[in-house]
Amino acid sequence: MAIRKMTLGSEAETVALAQAMAARARAGDALLLSGNLGAGKSTFARAFIRARAGDASLDVPSPSFTLVQTYELDPPVTHFDLWRLTGPDDVAELGLDAALAGIALIEWPDRLGPLAPREAITLALGWGEGNTRTATASGPDALLERLMR
């Protein structure tokens, strides 16, 4: 298990991180996005999806109310926001298994419990000093190396 820590000095740096990871992501990759409200999870997910689509102006609404939004890209990208769920029993109907065949971005992954994919990158976003954010990425060595090089 590898860990990488970084400071993101602005929203633009969060976007740049998402774009870089999107360029290296492939089918079967799962990114578990954790952090408090306002830490940058949705900003990261939106930038990642826009980068995969090659469309910086693509409308990427937060799936806070719909819980899941799939983008028919190659491979498909599925964005989950599990904030309103109480636990793994609520996840069954959301199509997680199918989404994991493409690229999955999962906000509030703690709601998955034992359903969380084992071969995934956890990206924990938090508040740093001043207006900065912190990002701590952890996961299998080879996967982290590929997505974060």
pLDDT 10s per residue in the chain (149 long)?
Answer: 899 999 999 999 999 999 999 999 999 999 999 998 888 999 999 999 999 999 999 999 988 888 999 999 999 999 999 999 988 888 878 999 999 999 999 999 999 999 999 999 999 999 989 889 999 999 999 999 999 98
Residue with tokens 């109310």: 65
Predicted pLDDT of residue 94: 92
pLDDT single digits (tens) 90-105: 887 899 999 999 999 9
The CA–CA distances, whole Å, from 29 to 32, 68, 89, 134 equal 10, 17, 23, 22
Quote the CA–CA distance of 79 and 133 in Å, as a whole number: 22
The tally of domains found in the chain comes to 1
Which CATH number covers residue 45?
Answer: 3.40.50.300
CB 18 within 8 A of CB 51: yes
Query: Looking at the chain, how many residues does it have?
Result: 149
Please give the angle made by the CA atoms of 33, 105 and 20, to the nearest 5 degrees.
85
Predicted pLDDT of residue 37: 85
CB 124 within 8 A of CB 41: no
Backbone angles phi, psi at 112, to 5 degrees: -75, -25
| CB neighbourhood size of 49 (10 A) | 22
- Residue 77, domain extent: 2-148
Predicted pLDDT of residue 39: 87
Predicted pLDDT of residue 138: 97
